[in-house]
Amino acid sequence: MGIPILEKAKKEIKTNIIKNKAKLAGFQYHLLNDRDNTHKNLIDFRETLLIIYADSVTSNTNDLFVRLQNWSCAISGELLEQQLSIEEVIEEAYFSREAIDLLIKEEANYYELTIDDFYAIISSFHTTVEQAGQLLGLAYKKGHTKKTKVFNSKVRELSTPMLKLTESIGFFPLIGAIDNDRAKQLMETALTQGSELKVKYIIFDLSGVPAIDEWVASQIIRFVTALRLIGIEAELSGIRPEIAQKLVGLGIEFKTIQTFSNLQQAIDHVNHLKTAQK
């Protein structure tokens, strides 16, 4: 039997990231021209990170996390020594995300992957990027405790992107625990990006949220209510069976919000609504 289409696509994505790592490593570089040694060292660090990102497409082992830890410790020392700005520090984890997102989309289209397969690949990549940002933040904070609050705010903003699936549908993955500060940030990001991307629907995916209690549920309802005020309808995907059971046990209901177990179901429902409105 031949190699499954999904595995072919993953292998091609990994190969293309590694093949283009030199070009990607030099993307959006803002360091001053007189920092020659810093430029070379950080390019090397970027290429190392790109190889880890490439491996994240085909591997889910703990080895990736260990490699990210080693990378963040090594690069943070260079960044602290050069006294780079917070913005320059953050770029070292997120500099290539948009370019790799585009590469993944192109290969997904070429191999005609399903929405679920496409999401599985891009979610694995985004999770690795977020881990890189968080680990770099922890390493960097040891030398810059006074800048911690500003740094965390910027990391959170960059680690919550909205993907535009179609002209009218936005996809907003929620990953990790949601506390009060993060809830405010998520609300602002959803409203701002929803308006900027001019979408009519946003699908919030909850598969990456470890636990949903009454407080978290109330925040999600606030997101949806706020979006409706600016003309955007929201739906929820990724409601796992154990989460659904817990919500029922707590007496929590999303009465006015459509919920689905996976992303494809949510997309199909939105497309049905669009068709019915024509």
Say what the pLDDT of residue 34 is: 44
Distance CA 267, CA 273 (A): 10
Residues 6 or more apart from 40 whose CB is under 8 A from it?
none
CA distances for 114 relative to 6, 17, 107, 117, 266, angstroms: 9, 21, 12, 5, 14
Residues 15 and 145 in one domain: yes
Say what the pLDDT of residue 157 is: 52
CA distances for 154 relative to 94, 145, 151, 202, 210, angstroms: 11, 15, 5, 23, 23
DSSP 213: -
The residue out of 136, 158, 180 marking a domain boundary is: 158
Residues 30 and 124 in one domain: yes
In the predicted structure, residue 33 carries a pLDDT above the cut 50: no
Say what the pLDDT of residue 110 is: 94
Tell me how far apart the 2 most distant CA atoms of the chain are, in Å: 62
Residue linked to tokens 């669009």: 274
82 vs 212 pLDDT, higher one: 212
Residues 141 and 173 in one domain: no
Residues 113 and 13 in one domain: yes
- Total domains in the chain come to 2
Distance CA 34, CA 9 (A): 41
Residues 54 and 135 in one domain: yes
pTM comes to: 0.55
Residues 16 and 151 in one domain: yes
Say what the pLDDT of residue 146 is: 46
Say what the pLDDT of residue 11 is: 93
Residues 139 and 262 in one domain: no
Q: How many CB atoms lie within 10 A of CB 192?
A: 12
Distance CA 56, CA 123 (A): 10
The residue out of 158, 175, 198 marking a domain boundary is: 158
Strands 163-164 and 169-175: antiparallel
Residues 140 and 206 in one domain: no
Whichever domain contains 170, its CATH number is 3.30.750.24
Say what the pLDDT of residue 10 is: 94
What three-state secondary structure class fits 205? strand
Whichever domain contains 116, its CATH number is 1.10.490
Question: Going edge to edge, which strands form the sheet with 201-208?
Answer: 163-164, 169-175, 201-208, 233-237
Across the range 31-54, mean pLDDT stands at: 74
Residues 14 and 148 in one domain: yes
Say what the pLDDT of residue 231 is: 94
Across the range 219-232, mean pLDDT stands at: 91
pLDDT band at 32 (very low <50, low <70, confident <90, very high): very low
Residues 144 and 22 in one domain: yes
Distance CA 95, CA 136 (A): 13
- 86-131 pLDDT, tens digit per residue, is 667 767 888 888 899 999 999 999 999 999 999 989 988 998 998 8
The residue out of 158, 177, 208 marking a domain boundary is: 158
Say what the pLDDT of residue 199 is: 93
Domain range spanning residue 213? 163-277
- 160-180 pLDDT, tens digit per residue, is 678 888 889 999 988 877 888
Residues 151 and 54 in one domain: yes
Structure tokens at 53: 């990102």
Residues 53 and 154 in one domain: yes
CA distances for 48 relative to 10, 54, 74, 188, 203, angstroms: 19, 10, 11, 33, 34
